[in-house]
């Protein structure tokens, strides 16, 4: 379960941005009854003007997960990948920092690292059994000698990571996936966080992915159930050995059908395994009723018994408040806004005097919470069209 994500100096996120998924009533390092599901939110949506930094936050999470999964193999790269804020002379030369606050087997863990073009500058992993901090390892530089393991891990067979030098994270080292103290965090980050780009990104890739998924008989049945659920007028998909009736060819399906399946199938997977689904541009290409229903998959305690979470960016203001089927309350709503110098600020709706009974959509579009474009009508180019 994801509790928090913090990032500094990544793309437009120059200053530290923190997305918090615990509820406002949670205080301390550990819930009194140990039930993290009661103090965390299932859904969070980020709204803001175009180019305000919504996607930058998801990209930062995806970058950090990619580094955990692959950096041990980055030996042939010329430096460590980096994406610092470029609009001032200072930030572009500074390191970036990424930190996840998550739970594994009911125990809170905090994992993060600091990196730049030269490599990894710092890395840390702490656990909080019963709320008390326990250092699993801390790293203060690029080399193996810069890593210090805590008493609970120092006697164990910690896998080497020196082959990638400063480009390899400790958590990315070969064998970490099987390490008794580190594997839970590694597997959560690399297997439980699923990133979906904006639905209009590449229809052909979506078709190929759906066809691959539907080769599995169980997934095929799920897909067909989702099509019937969405009232799309389609009840069957191609089956490897089907001899009855004309099946739907996915390549000929509407963009709305493809969008629904490419979102709903990963959503079911996340709910089944207790994962986190991250969607850029939720609501693009879907009827608002279906978008709201997808959110409802996660917010409904009957459907979502695993603690799965949905994090998305969107321009669909119909999701604000509590539309029929599923929507966002105050604590699940976040905004991004750019300052005059191009830096993104991330902030929650809970910073404002807003209640679940308020008309959040009207207030947002009216500029009550910021994060809306301010149109410069005087900048419109002149036109020679003279309409009656």
Q: Is it the case that residue 342 has pLDDT exceeding 70?
A: yes
How far is the C-alpha of 199 from the C-alpha of 141, rounded, in Å?
A: 40
| DSSP per-residue codes, 324-384 | TT--B-STTEEEEEE-TTS-EEEEEGGGSS--TTS-HHHHHHTTTT--S----GGGSPP--
Q: Which two tokens stand for residue 107?
A: 């125990």
In this structure, the number of other CB atoms found within 10 A of the CB of residue 203 comes to 15
Residue 294 lies in a domain: no
Residue 79 phi/psi, 5-degree rounding, is 90, 175
Quick one: average pLDDT of 19-38? 87
CA distance 80 to 63: 12
Flag whether pLDDT at 356 surpasses 70: no
The reply to whether 118 falls in a domain is yes
Task: Provide the pLDDT for residue 240.
Answer: 37
Residues sharing a CB contact under 8 Å with residue 103, sequence separation 6 or more, in sequence order: 1, 3, 36, 109
pLDDT of 184 reads 94
pLDDT of residue 241: 38
Count how many Cα atoms sit within 13 Å of the Cα of residue 72 in the half-sphere of its side chain.
Answer: 15
Which range has highest mean pLDDT (97-106, 169-178, 350-359)?
Answer: 97-106
62: in domain: yes
Contact criterion met (CB below 8 Å) for 287 and 318: no
> Ranked by mean pLDDT, which of 169-183, 249-263, 302-316 comes out on top?
302-316
| Predicted local distance difference test score (pLDDT) of residue 65 | 98
Q: Could you list the residue range(s) of the whole structural domain that residue 122 is in?
A: 2-196+329-372
Q: Lowest mean pLDDT of 123-137, 216-230, 315-329, 355-369, name the range.
A: 315-329
Length of the chain: 388
Domain count, the chain: 1
pLDDT of 253 over the 90 cut: no
- Please report the pLDDT score of residue 171 as a whole number: 93
Residue 246, domain member (yes or no): no
Q: Flag whether 304 is in a domain.
A: no
Q: Residue 51 pLDDT > 50, yes or no?
A: yes
Per-residue pLDDT, 205 = 75
Helix and strand numbers, DSSP H then E, in the chain: 7, 13
pLDDT at 385: 62
- The better pLDDT of the pair 330, 65 is held by 65
Evaluate if residue 13 carries a pLDDT over 50: yes
**What's the mean per-residue pLDDT of the chain?**
86
Residue 222 falls in which region: left (phi positive, over 0), alpha (psi -120 to 50) or beta: alpha
Q: For residue 273, is it within any domain?
A: no
Instruction: Tell me what pLDDT residue 66 has.
Output: 96
- Is the per-residue pLDDT at 297 higher than 70? yes
DSSP reduced 3-state for 50: coil
Average pLDDT over residues 15-36: 89
**Residue 146: inside a domain:** yes
The Cα–Cα gap between 68 and 1 comes to: 17
pLDDT, tens only, 263-289: 999 999 999 999 999 999 998 888 888
Percent of the chain with pLDDT over 90: 54
What token pair was written down for 171?
Answer: 């958590």
pLDDT digits (tens, 9 = 90+) for 201-249: 566 677 778 888 888 888 888 988 998 898 877 777 755 334 354 455 7
Q: What integer pLDDT is reported at residue 386 of this predicted model? A: 55
pLDDT of residue 243: 38
**Residues 57-97: tens digit of each pLDDT:** 999 999 999 999 999 888 666 778 999 999 999 999 999 99
Asked, for residue 309, whether it belongs to a domain, the answer is no
**pLDDT at residue number 217:** 85
């Amino acid at each position: 379960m994801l509790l928090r994500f913090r990032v500094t100096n990544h793309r437009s996120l120059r200053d530290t941005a923190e997305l918090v998924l615990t509820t406002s009533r949670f205080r301390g390092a550990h819930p009194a009854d140990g039930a993290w599901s009661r103090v965390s939110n299932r859904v969070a949506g980020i709204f803001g003007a175009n180019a305000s930094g919504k996607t930058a936050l998801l990209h930062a999470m995806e970058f950090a997960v990619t580094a955990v999964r692959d950096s041990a193999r980055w030996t042939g790269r010329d430096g460590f990948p980096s994406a610092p804020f470029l609009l001032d002379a200072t930030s572009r030369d500074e390191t970036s920092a990424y930190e996840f606050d998550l739970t594994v087997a009911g125990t809170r863990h905090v994992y993060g690292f600091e990196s730049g073009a030269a490599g990894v500058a710092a890395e840390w992993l702490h656990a909080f059994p019963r709320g008390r901090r326990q250092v699993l390892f801390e790293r203060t530089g690029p080399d193996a000698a810069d890593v210090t393991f805590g008493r609970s891990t120092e006697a164990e067979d910690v896998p080497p990571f020196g082959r990638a030098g400063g480009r390899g994270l400790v958590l990315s080292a070969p064998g970490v996936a099987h390490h008794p103290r580190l594997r839970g965090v590694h597997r959560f980050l690399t297997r439980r966080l699923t990133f979906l780009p904006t639905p209009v990104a590449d229809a052909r890739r979506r078709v190929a992915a759906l066809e691959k998924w539907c080769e599995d008989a169980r997934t095929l049945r799920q897909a067909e159930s989702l099509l019937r659920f969405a009232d799309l007028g389609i009840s069957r998909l191609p089956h490897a050995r089907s001899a009855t009736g004309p099946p739907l060819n996915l390549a000929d399906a509407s963009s709305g059908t493809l969008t629904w399946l490419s979102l709903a199938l990963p959503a079911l997977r996340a709910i089944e395994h207790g994962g986190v689904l991250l969607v850029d541009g939720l609501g693009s290409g879907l009827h608002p009723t279906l978008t709201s229903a997808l959110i409802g998959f996660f917010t409904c305690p009957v459907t979502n018994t695993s603690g799965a979470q949905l994090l998305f960016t969107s321009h669909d203001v119909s999701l604000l408040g509590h539309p029929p089927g599923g929507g966002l309350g105050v604590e699940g709503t976040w905004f991004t806004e750019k300052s005059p110098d191009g830096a993104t600020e991330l902030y929650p709706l809970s910073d404002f005097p807003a209640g679940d009974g308020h008309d959040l959509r009207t207030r947002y579009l009216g500029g009550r919470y910021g994060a809306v474009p301010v149109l410069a009508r005087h900048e419109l180019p002149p036109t020679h069209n003279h309409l009656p």
